[in-house]
Amino acid sequence: MFRLPALFIVCLLSLPVSAQRLISGTVTGTNGQPLPNCNVFINNSTRGTTTNAEGHFELVNPPSGKHELIISNVGFETYVVAYSEEQLPLTVNVILKVRVRELDNVVVEPFTEGTWAQWGAKFLENFVGTSNNASRCRIRNTDSIHFRFYKKSNRLVAFADVPLQIENDALGYKISYQLEAFELNFSHGSLYYAGYPQVMEMEAPRKGVESRWSKQRQKAYEGSVIHFMRSLYENRLTEEGFEIRTMKKKPNLEKERVKKIWNFAMQEQMRSVKKEGNVLVLDATMSGRFSKDSSQYYQQVLRQEDVQEEYGPVISNTDSLLERNETGEKILFFPDYLAIVFKKETEDDAYLKAQFLSRRPSWQRSYVGLLNGNAIAIEANGGYYDPRDILTMGYWGWSEKMADYMPVDYEPPVPPVKK
């Protein structure tokens, strides 16, 4: 996540044992005046509060583990402080700076301003998603979203000066999302967005809704990235339904060879065409260049992917993927890619439809890669840092959107004990 500049002082206080799990502090502006009604919350969780008239806040019993404390206010730069439970109690006194949005240098790459009518559907598809839950997920302040399209690099950028107000009636969450980055690269077929979600529980409007929410949350959680990271951390991949293998992507050398032969033959064939009156006639010697079997083989190879996937054996122990650094954190590193199959749920029909796949649902298959070879630290709660250093593809590339987003403090129901 972004670390945006702000003036701050962090102090550790000695408090009684009963008050150890506490984060408190005061938020002021650069003029020294207290800032009331600032959002203060634990990133990616349901825990948060606001500052009072004196700019003071207290957050009691924050979730365990390593987290990010987010302090935000409309018109000011968002402030982020990373902490771990060993640092509690923690006092954070912050001076927020007024947000100044820097304009892009049009000399480097000009852009055109876009509207919701032009880009809204594309934004929803990539930010909210196209899963079954997406139809019950709404952004209430879409008029706050602005778009810029960069024609030269074929990129769409979106930003908002106020948090996006998301209501997910499928999962029973209200999310205030401070959007820090959104970029859809049409040329590369890649998507990157980042922000700070503050999650709140919705009140059930009628009987039975809470039960539906509970079932849908469990379904969204099972097989998700956060579920995988927790299972990896605890070395419970098999028990939780995950199967992982290393994967390499190699050029399809046979296709490259066949493509050269085929292209050369087609060029020769075009040069052999003769005009007899108003009729184009193909030289008979060229029309029989390939046998029927050879032609069928070449066409079959040309329909293959340009890149072939090579899989290693199933990884049953996470020791080959994880190691501890000098601070005791578990670090995930692997070369090339990991192929991850979740065997407790099959693909949603909506996924097959979105991918234009006309087959029956199979196990959920996803792929991850580490960008620039950077390792990531994972936490027991399923959080991982830095999220910008990991690339998700396959099923996760489709499902890990806001319509199926789960906070890191979510705990699935405990299954009943078998007698």
Residue 130 tokens read as: 């196209």
pLDDT confidence of residue 108: 74
pLDDT confidence of residue 59: 92
Alpha carbons 265 and 271: distance in angstroms, whole number:
10
pLDDT confidence of residue 3: 39
pLDDT confidence of residue 310: 87
Locate tokens 């996540």: which residue?
1
Domain ranges of the chain: 7-96, 105-218, 222-249+311-407, 253-304
Nearest to 326 by CA among 363, 276, 365, 377: 377
pLDDT confidence of residue 123: 97
Architecture field, domain 7-96? Sandwich (2.60)
Q: What is the pLDDT of residues 79-107, one digit of tens each?
A: 999 888 888 999 999 999 998 765 544 44
Asked if residue 327 has pLDDT above 90, the reply is no
The burial of 269, by beta-carbon neighbours within 10 Å (0-12 exposed, 13-18 middle, 19 or more buried), is given as middle
Asked if residue 386 has pLDDT above 90, the reply is no
pLDDT confidence of residue 102: 55
Least confident of 3-17, 193-207, 262-276, 279-293: 3-17
Average pLDDT over residues 305-317: 81
Nearest to 243 by CA among 258, 231, 254: 231
Q: What angle do CA 272, 276, 277 make, to 5 degrees?
A: 145
pLDDT confidence of residue 6: 41
pLDDT confidence of residue 280: 54
Cα–Cα distance list, 123 to 148, 169, 304, 344 (Å): 12, 19, 32, 31
Asked if residue 63 has pLDDT above 90, the reply is no
Q: What is the pLDDT of residues 215-226, one digit of tens each?
A: 999 999 999 999
The upper half-sphere exposure of residue 232, i.e. CA atoms within 13 Å in the direction of its Cβ, equals 28
Cα–Cα distance list, 145 to 117, 158, 181, 269 (Å): 11, 7, 12, 54
CB contact burial 169-179 (16+ within 10 A = b; e otherwise): bbbbbbbbbbb
Phi and psi at 311, nearest 5°, equal: -105, 145
Q: What is the pLDDT of residues 400-412, one digit of tens each?
A: 999 999 999 999 9
* Average confidence score pLDDT of the chain: 85
The pTM assigned to this predicted structure is 0.78
Average pLDDT over residues 116-135: 96
List residues bridging with 41 in a β-sheet.
Answer: 48, 70
- Number of residues in the chain: 419
Average pLDDT over residues 166-177: 96
Average pLDDT over residues 132-148: 96
pLDDT confidence of residue 290: 60
pLDDT confidence of residue 333: 92
Asked if residue 299 has pLDDT above 90, the reply is no
Amino acid of residue 298: Y
pLDDT confidence of residue 392: 92
